[in-house]
Amino acid sequence: MSSSPPVGRLAPSPTGRLHLGHARTFLLAWWSVRARGGRMLLRMEDLDAERVRAGMEDLALEDLRWLGLDWDGPVVRQSERGPLYRAALAQLAEAGRTYPCVCTRKELASAQSAPHGADGQGPYPGTCRGRYTSRRDAGRDAALRFRVAAGPVGFTDGFEGPFEEDLARSVGDFPVARRDGEPAYQLAVVVDDAEQGVTEVLRGDDLVPSTVRQKVLQEALGLPHPRWVHVPLVTDAAGRRLAKRADDLALAALREAGVAPAEVVRWAAVSCGLPDRGEGLAGAYLADFDLDRLPHGSVPAPTY
Ligand code: GLU
């Protein structure tokens, strides 16, 4: 069987400064694809207008270049791809796979007393299933939910191995468009990965709970599945995953403090089981890269 070189993507959200956790995941994504002579794309996930912050896109690009990462072709922005998402939403509606939903977060929270399920909430109870024929008919701003089928759906993660989830039990029918009409993350990612020809999605394991949703959307839209590789996250001194507000570990802050990018790349490489090369940016570790060397379990952030 011949396999063509992979196509990967770096997909930062310009909602805050990138930190050491992002650096490690983006390095891994780049190493994995470039080590096999593949193409790397860059996609700005800037759909959430309320969370996007001015200047964060430029800063993210500067951070990535600082580490020695590069990409092929122009930067693609989700905010400029509305027609593609609308076409996919129309396709799902046409096939009867979505329905309008007017439930607010508050209403859903008060309907569910005990928190459980993949998102810390129970599955959507199906309140609006079969209730309206169209968004207009719903009267107030409606989201669109995707109808999930009962039963387990699985995928084999390139790092963690087999994973299975029964969406009807964990999240229930999930949103593919928000109340303001913007596509939901799950829909946009699936449309973009397919349209951009992405064959490998390497990202943090906080996104594992999204993957089965993305898989069923790909099936409903007749799109191919990429290879999924979810890698462990970097944690702070208290063992919590780094958040974008972990500002002292922001790459821009380290740069301002005079930390050399080779130091950051070296820490990431060694934490990924690669030999210590001392000097050099991302490219210095390409020849050694092997996903099989990556340790399981989260990784503590270094102190500089
Ligand atoms: N934009 C997302 C993030 O920054 C990544 C989404 C993905 O890799 O699918 O967390």
CA distance 23 to 105: 33
Which atom of ligand 1 has the smallest separation from the CA of 22? 4
Q: Which pLDDT value is given to residue 248?
A: 73
- Name the token pair of 267: 């820490």
Q: Give the length of the chain.
A: 304
CA distance 58 to 205: 26
> Is the CB of 192 inside a 6 Å radius of any atom of ligand 1?
no
Q: Could you list the pLDDT tens digit for every one of the 304 residues in the chain?
A: 457 999 999 999 999 999 999 999 999 999 999 999 999 999 999 999 899 999 999 999 999 999 999 999 999 999 999 999 999 999 999 999 999 999 988 888 776 654 444 445 789 999 999 998 888 888 778 999 999 999 999 999 999 999 999 999 999 999 999 998 899 999 999 999 999 999 999 999 999 999 999 999 999 999 999 999 999 999 988 888 887 666 778 999 999 999 999 999 999 999 999 999 988 999 999 999 999 999 999 999 998 8
Q: Which pLDDT value is given to residue 123?
A: 93
Of the candidate CATH numbers 3.40.50.80, 3.40.50.620, 3.40.190.80, 3.40.640.10, the domain formed by 7-79+197-300 belongs to 3.40.50.620
Domain ranges within the chain, ordered by starting residue: 7-79+197-300, 82-185
Which atom of ligand 1 has the smallest separation from the CA of 210? 9
107 φ/ψ angles, rounded to the nearest 5 degrees = -60, -40
Q: Which residues contact 34 (CB under 8 A, 6 or more apart)?
A: 40, 283, 286
Q: Which residue has 């970097």 as its token pair?
A: 234
CA distance 259 to 47: 32
Question: Would residue 2 be called left, alpha or beta, if left means φ above 0 and alpha means ψ between -120 and 50 degrees?
Answer: beta
Q: Which pLDDT value is given to residue 136?
A: 81
CB 233 within 8 A of CB 164: no
The CATH fold assigned to 82-185 is Glutamyl-tRNA Synthetase; domain 3 (3.90.800)
Which atom of ligand 1 has the smallest separation from the CA of 201? 8
Q: Which pLDDT value is given to residue 73?
A: 97
How many whole angstroms from 188 Cα to the centroid of ligand 1?
Answer: 11
Q: Which pLDDT value is given to residue 2?
A: 54
How many whole angstroms from 203 Cα to the centroid of ligand 1?
Answer: 7
How many whole angstroms from 199 Cα to the centroid of ligand 1?
Answer: 15
How many whole angstroms from 106 Cα to the centroid of ligand 1?
Answer: 26
Q: Which pLDDT value is given to residue 115?
A: 47
Which atom of ligand 1 has the smallest separation from the CA of 189? 9
CA distance 126 to 21: 36
Q: At what angle do helices 261-271 and 20-34 cross, to 10 degrees?
A: 70
Q: Which pLDDT value is given to residue 156?
A: 98
> Is the CB of 203 inside a 6 Å radius of any atom of ligand 1?
yes
How many whole angstroms from 292 Cα to the centroid of ligand 1?
Answer: 23
Q: Which pLDDT value is given to residue 80?
A: 97
- Name the token pair of 160: 């963690």
E strands, the chain, in order: 7-10, 39-44, 76-77, 98-101, 143-146, 153-157, 161-165, 174-177, 200-204, 227-231, 234-235, 299-300
